[in-house]
Amino acid sequence: MKHELDLLENATDSLNEALRKYAEGESSDERAFKFSILHLSHFLELLFKYYVSRAHPLLIYKNPFSKKIQNEPTIGLWEAIQFLKNEGKEINQDLYKDLEWIKELRNNIEHYKFEMDIAEVRRTLGRLIQATNEFNTKFNLIDLKTHIDPDCLKTFETLADEYRANLAHARAEALEESESGEAFDCTQCGESKTAYCYKDKYICKFCNESESIVQCFRCEDQYPKSEVRVWNDDHLPGIDYICEGCESYFSSQ
């Protein structure tokens, strides 16, 4: 039996594996992000080679005039990008920086020791998916979504949408930074489970706003300050707050 993939199939196969590993990483297996980086880096290099091959299949070889073309080495990522630039397809500078970042991390993973900031990995991989999608749309190249396996589609759609990706990142980071292991809704931006508790504040990882935590003097539960009312009209040295439930109790008496 033979297993054979053409250039584009090989690229998108690695993309699907990158998405699977990313999903595993989001399910608390942080080690999986390492393999997501390796697969996504492979996908990007093959994808840019594929762009070059659309001009002519032989152009992916460093010496397209060789008599033994199949023995010739193929071009690398940066050569493919330069080819596209020469064609007038400009590469966004932010995308270029993210490509440099993932290539350097990939090389460290493959050849030496490495360290990675999980929050940075999440956000950079999201930006790379978004930028690649935009590049394809701008130059009418390929529709990536049609090459995504069904089990990877939700992860792809989340990463491909900047708002949804940032929201997912914020929720994951809120859980990681919470001392209690619990995430909270943000009363400032209205998003759910994006805030974590630190000392006497709720801090949102999505909008970066914070809000004081106060205690209801009756039930002694804690609430964001915006969800309670001042009970003693601010006349005493220490302000007493009351939650909606306890205020309703007194009103019914």
The two three-digit tokens of residue 249, written as one number: 């109790």
More confident call, 213 vs 49: 49
Residue 185 tokens read as: 């809704």
- Residue 170 amino acid letter: A
Give the CA diameter of the chain: 96
**Can you give the pLDDT at residue 221?**
85
Q: What is the pLDDT of residues 224-241, one digit of tens each?
A: 888 888 877 665 567 888
pLDDT reported for residue 38 = 96
Contact call for residues 44 and 102 (beta carbons, < 8 A): yes
Among 2, 8, 1, residue whose Cα is nearest residue 146: 8
**pTM given for the model:** 0.77
Residues in Cβ contact with 227 at an 8 Å cutoff, skipping those fewer than 6 apart: 187, 243, 244
Which candidate, 205, 202, 209, places its Cα nearest to that of 225?
202
End-to-end CA distance of the chain: 81
Give CA–CA dist 9/233, Å, rounded: 68
- Cα(142)–Cα(91) distance, integer angstroms: 16
How many angstroms separate the CA atoms of 74 and 64, rounded?
9
Domains of the chain, first to last: 7-160 (no CATH), 181-253 (3.30.40)
Average pLDDT taken over every residue of the chain? 89
- Mean per-residue pLDDT, 23-39: 92
Angle at 244 between CA 240 and CA 246, to 5 degrees: 70
pLDDT at 246: 87
User: For residue 84, which of 68, 72, 94, 96 has the smallest C-alpha distance?
Assistant: 96
Average pLDDT over residues 46-52: 94
Say what angle helices 7-26 and 118-138 make with each other, to 10 degrees: 150
How is the chain split among helix, strand and coil, in percent rounded to 5?
Answer: 55, 10, 35
Residues 138, 161: contact at Cβ < 8 Å? Answer: no
The yes-or-no verdict on residue 253 having pLDDT over 70 is no
